Amino acid sequence: MGRHAGSAHDSARGGSALDAVRLDARVFGMVQGVGFRYWTMGTAEELGLSGEVSNIDDGSVSVIAEGGEPQVRKLLDWLKSDRTPGRVERVEFDFSAARGTFGGFRAR
């Protein structure tokens, strides 16, 4: 699937609960030092996803999440929303097949 970039208010499509997908996202804006990683971890856990969220040296945040496609897309919608801590300017993301490498969701 291709790389996508969108504003904080783009919407995502739905999918089948049986589709296991991987989201690789990079979140830009004022997203470090505001609790963004921990809120992202909590949201991902509520959705039953596995993966990790981490700060990047350039001030962005990396999010990797795996699970059912509808739940992963809900996380992506949340990442792009105004409900996140801080201020999201844009989210670049890519979908691929889940690899099953995570046992839970963690913040690094």
- The one catalytic residue in 3, 37, 73, 99 is 37
Confidence of residue 5 (pLDDT cuts 50, 70, 90): low
What digits encode the pLDDT tens for the residues 53-62?
A: 999 999 999 9
In this structure, of 17-26, 42-51, 85-94, the range with the lowest mean pLDDT score is 17-26
Q: What number is the average pLDDT over the span 90-99?
A: 97
For the chain, the residue count is: 108
- The CATH number of the structural domain formed by 4-100 is 3.30.70.100
Q: What number is the average pLDDT over the span 42-61?
A: 98
8 pLDDT more than 80:
no
- The one catalytic residue in 3, 55, 106, 108 is 55
Sequence-ordered alpha helix ranges (H) in the chain: 36-46, 69-79
Burial group, residue 18, by CB count within 10 angstroms (0-12, 13-18, 19+): exposed
Confidence of residue 39 (pLDDT cuts 50, 70, 90): very high
Active site residue 55: yes
46 pLDDT more than 90:
yes
Q: What local confidence, expressed as pLDDT, does residue 1 receive?
A: 45
Active site residue 73: no
87 pLDDT more than 70:
yes
Could you give the 3-state DSSP secondary structure of residue 39?
Answer: helix
